[in-house]
């Protein structure tokens, strides 16, 4: 069924893709319409809370004794989305990791350009530590821009001298806002969602005149030395494929333990389409195994 599933999903995504000439308010409206039509599973509870003064959504799954915490960052190229819109996917990460999840409502551009999102992400992580959660019990996760923000938060936390979490999981990470990846062109026809034309105005919104190659804007250019183990997942039908590949290369060059997990013929953040695509659940299972091993492994070392 996989080929048929992939083709069906591709057709759905092409039909619902944002018009290239749409502005931020129109894109936000379209995204709200899409996400509001997808209710959370019956065993998932989401409630508003805060971490370090930053709004978050706490997500729990019935029946899971949550000893661990996932700090989750939603996608939306830094201008779209919110914590609750990502709750369905974030819950699946929590389910497979035996963790409660805090999805972070970081401030969005253009109203709040860089470094607002980066500051909010670090504040949320610091608050977890301040609340007494051991770093060895925390993993970071995120999709698209949220994946980039997760990596930037690791770099930022390291540079602030904070203890780092057990691991991080990023899905289709958006880590190069200079848009220099070769697949920005070579995967243009294959990607049903994203394109250079769609991304360029949103880059301008977020960077607000600052250099898009700054390490905390585009962490593919950051020094990744000392970061915890990473699992990076990406599909081959996306213009951001090269972002993920280069991020893995940078991590490996910096002696970071990294797993690059590439699934053929699936789109951007394919894990979000678990009900439609067998590969989505399988990828989440692999990530859950990776994260659980690092959480329990860290516990043994420190316990």
Cα-based distances in Å from 142 to 72, 85, 86, 237, 250: 5, 13, 9, 19, 19
CA distance 293 to 167: 10
Selected catalytic residue, list 144, 172, 195, 218: 144
- Cβ atoms 83, 57 nearer than 8 A: yes
CA distance 160 to 104: 20
Selected catalytic residue, list 74, 103, 143, 268: 268
238 catalytic, yes or no? Answer: yes
- Cβ atoms 104, 56 nearer than 8 A: yes
What is the distance of C-alpha 158 from the center of its chain?
Answer: 19
H/E stretch holding 61: strand 54-61
Cα-based distances in Å from 21 to 15, 25, 26, 27, 176: 16, 12, 10, 10, 22
H/E stretch holding 294: helix 278-302
144 catalytic, yes or no? Answer: yes
CA distance 62 to 50: 21
268 catalytic, yes or no? Answer: yes
Selected catalytic residue, list 92, 143, 238, 279: 238
CA distance 193 to 215: 26
Residues marked active site are found at: 144, 238, 268
């Amino acid at each position: 069924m996989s080929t048929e599933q992939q083709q069906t999903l591709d057709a759905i995504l092409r039909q619902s893709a944002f018009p290239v000439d749409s502005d931020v308010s129109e894109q936000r409206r379209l995204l709200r319409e899409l996400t509001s039509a997808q209710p959370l599973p019956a065993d998932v509870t989401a409630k508003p809370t805060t971490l370090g003064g930053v709004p978050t959504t706490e997500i729990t799954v019935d029946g899971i004794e949550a000893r661990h915490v996932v700090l989750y960052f939603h996608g939306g190229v830094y201008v779209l989305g919110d914590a609750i819109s990502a709750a369905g996917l974030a819950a699946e990460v929590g389910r497979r990791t035996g963790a409660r999840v805090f999805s972070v409502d970081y401030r969005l551009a253009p109203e709040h350009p860089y470094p607002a999102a980066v500051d909010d992400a670090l504040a949320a992580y610091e608050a977890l530590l301040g609340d007494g959660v051991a770093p060895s019990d925390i993993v970071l996760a995120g999709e698209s821009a949220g994946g980039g923000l997760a990596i930037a938060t690791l770099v930022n936390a390291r540079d602030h001298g904070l203890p780092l979490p057990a691991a991080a999981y990023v899905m289709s990470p958006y880590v190069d806002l200079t848009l220099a990846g070769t697949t920005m062109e070579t995967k243009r026809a294959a990607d049903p969602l994203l394109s250079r034309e769609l991304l360029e105005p949103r880059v301008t919104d977020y960077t607000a005149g600052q250099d898009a190659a700054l390490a905390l804007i585009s962490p593919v250019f950051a020094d990744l030395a000392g970061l915890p183990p990473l699992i990076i997942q990406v599909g081959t039908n996306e213009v951001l494929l090269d972002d993920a590949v280069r991020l893995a290369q940078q991590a490996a060059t910096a002696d970071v333990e990294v797993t690059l997990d590439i699934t053929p013929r699936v789109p951007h953040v394919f894990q979000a389409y678990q009900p439609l695509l067998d590969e989505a659940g399988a990828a989440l299972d692999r990530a859950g195994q990776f994260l659980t091993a690092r959480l329990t492994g860290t516990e043994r070392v420190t316990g």
